[in-house]
Structure 1
Amino acid sequence: MTAEHTPKRIGQGMWMVAWVLLLGLLYLFFEDTISQHYNPNQNLIADNGSATVVLQRNRAGHYVAPGKINGTDVTFLLDTGATTISIPEAVANKIGLEKGFRSDVSTANGNITVYNSTLDSVQLGGIKLLDIRGHINPYMDGETVLLGMSFMKHLEITQKGNTLTLRR
């Protein structure tokens, strides 16, 4: 390698590093933006003194929010069409839930077998309920828990525009 090629190679290397950094920054920016579009409530404060939770609808028209089951962080998708809280098996394993008795349930995709479970605590924002029915669903992919009516039947629910207010 000649002396005149060395500065050219250093310059090319610097350009490559600059592009990698720029692409990394763009990834971080857009990952946060996409995450915010899916879950506009991700900064929901768990104020234990408040019995009211106000959620914003995401771009797909769903209400997604962070919460806790038995003290473990989860992401909820509110589902008034679900009778109970439906937990993907992988999430149930992370929480340490044990499978209870088998049950057949009817879903939008047909009949499936789930395993009943009693959840010690379920929390959404400042609303915390104890001894709530749920089930472990071995057919659900992903990490999102369907927050069904076994939780929401204890609440007053008001929807206005893109806002859902849950009140204990």
Structure 2
Amino acid sequence: MAKRNNFIAALLLFVCTAAAAAPDIRVNGLMPNQAVVTIDGKQRILKMGTPSPEGVSLIAADSQKAVLEWQGERIERTLTREISANYTERTEEEARIPRGRDNHFFTTGNINGQPVRFMVDTGAFAIAMTPVEADRLRLNWRQGERFVANTAGGGTPSYKVMLDSVSVGGITLHNITAAVIVADSTGEILLGMSFLEKTEMREEDNTLVLRKKY
């Protein structure tokens, strides 16, 4: 009986210890008051005041590090080692985007070889555009998968399309998901996470630096 009780006690201690173990957090991108992180293998965009589903909150962030909080414990994280170690190499696959009006980052680029203008939006799950832009780019978007996008105006009918290529600066990526937001008739093409998640991001001197992941 004593051995059985000892086994149960040890098992409970193991379960409690595992439950209290801090999550594995890696920082993939840093911007003022915002961080792109991976928590236990899941990518999250952390903004101050909004905790992740895992309970991780962003306290502060700059171009060097992020200060996080989990269950009352403060955690400091810099960019992951593989990012910082390779960051200055192979600059031909890098894009530098200066901060523009209203603190947004605007840049030119190409979609399927056609020139476009982007606004960086880490809150957009994919590259997003209007039907006008989609028609200009000759995308067969009306045959795409239909879904409802959550926008500032509520649920909006939208279509998913696949872009053959997207280029920004020295970075070119292929087979990138995009969304055509039917209710929008004007506006910039949003450079969302379907592109950004394949890059490493950091801000230096009011310039957003993107570097292609390998």
Do Structure 1 and Structure 2 share a fold, with TM-score over 0.5? yes
CA RMSD, Structure 1 to Structure 2 (Å):
1.3
What's the % identity of the aligned pairs? 36
Matches within 5 A, 1:1-168: 50-99=92-141, 100-142=144-186, 144-168=188-212
Normalized per residue, the structure richer in helix is 1
Please report the TM-score for the alignment, with normalisation by the length of structure 1.
0.68
Give deviations 1:59-90, integer Å, cap 9, x for gaps.
31000000111011110000000001101110
Q: Report the number of matched residues.
A: 120
Moved segments of 4+, more than 6 Å: none
**Structure 1 CA distance for aligned equivalents of residues 152 and 122 of structure 2:** 13
Q: Which amino acid aligns with 1:145?
A: I
**Which fold has the larger relative contact order, with Cα–Cα distance below 8 Å and residues 6 or more apart in sequence?**
1
- Structure 1, unpaired ranges of 5+: 1-48
Q: Relative to total residues, which structure has the larger strand share, 1 or 2?
A: 2
Task: For structure 2, list consecutive stretches of 5 or more residues without a partner in the other structure.
Answer: 1-90
CA distance in 1, matches of 2:206, 2:177: 28
Distance in 1, matches of 2:101 and 2:127, equals 23
Q: 1:72 to 1:143 in 2, by over 3 A?
A: farther
Higher Rg: 1
